[in-house]
Amino acid sequence: MVSALQNILRFIFLILIQVFLLDNIQFMGYINPMIYILFILLLPVRFPRWALLISAFAMGLIIDVFSNTAGMHTFALVFAAFLRAPVINIFTSIDEGSNPTPSFHTFGVSPFIKYVITIVLLHHITLFLIESFSFLNLSLIIPKILISSAITILLILAIQSFKSK
């Protein structure tokens, strides 16, 4: 029950931070970190997959409404949410019966970092490819994906390392 409330608050909080703070900060001209993906990353491991997809869809839609990108964030976030379970299975070995919340502590430092990097990259690559459909320019997109992902990953890991103490 406490965890459900925590997740709802995190959902709202991350959207507010993303839309009103991060979307207004433009590192080096065109890079903006996408912290909202942290919501998907931190849901309990055994959170029902259908509910995970629906919440990813809801979150993506809200972000899209605020940033005038109808559907792009939704597509990327649902995609990342769908691949979350396989990614967790690749990097960790969690007992059938247990239902931990992903963190440095429950996953171990190295698996957790790998997990965050993989999901963030999947999300950013999908998002920037979709965004660039109208004019494909790889020399522009690849640095954009790499730098944005790096900043998002660093932010997420920094937030998580503060929490575990």
Q: Name the residues that contact another protein, by CB under 8 A.
A: 20, 23-24, 26, 29-32, 49-50, 53-54, 56-57, 60, 64-72, 74-75, 78-79, 82, 130-132, 134-135, 137, 140
Q: Nearer Cβ to another protein, position 9 or 143?
A: 143
Q: Nearer Cβ to another protein, position 30 or 164?
A: 30
Q: Nearer Cβ to another protein, position 56 or 151?
A: 56
Both structure tokens of 14: 């991350």
Nearest CA-CA partner of 74 in 126, 10, 146, 32:
126
Query: Smallest distance, Å, CB 31 to another protein?
Result: 7
12, 58 contact by CB (below 8 A): no
Nearest CA-CA partner of 145 in 3, 34, 20:
34
For residues 98 and 141, give the distance between their C-alpha atoms in angstroms, rounded to a whole number.
40
Query: Smallest distance, Å, CB 127 to another protein?
Result: 11
Residues 6+ apart with CB under 8 A from 138: none
Residues 6+ apart with CB under 8 A from 86: none
For residues 160 and 74, give the distance between their C-alpha atoms in angstroms, rounded to a whole number.
24
Query: Smallest distance, Å, CB 46 to another protein?
Result: 13
Q: Nearer Cβ to another protein, position 92 or 132?
A: 132
Query: Smallest distance, Å, CB 8 to another protein?
Result: 19
Query: Smallest distance, Å, CB 82 to another protein?
Result: 5
Q: Nearer Cβ to another protein, position 99 or 110?
A: 99
Q: Give Cα 63 to chain centroid, integer Å.
A: 12
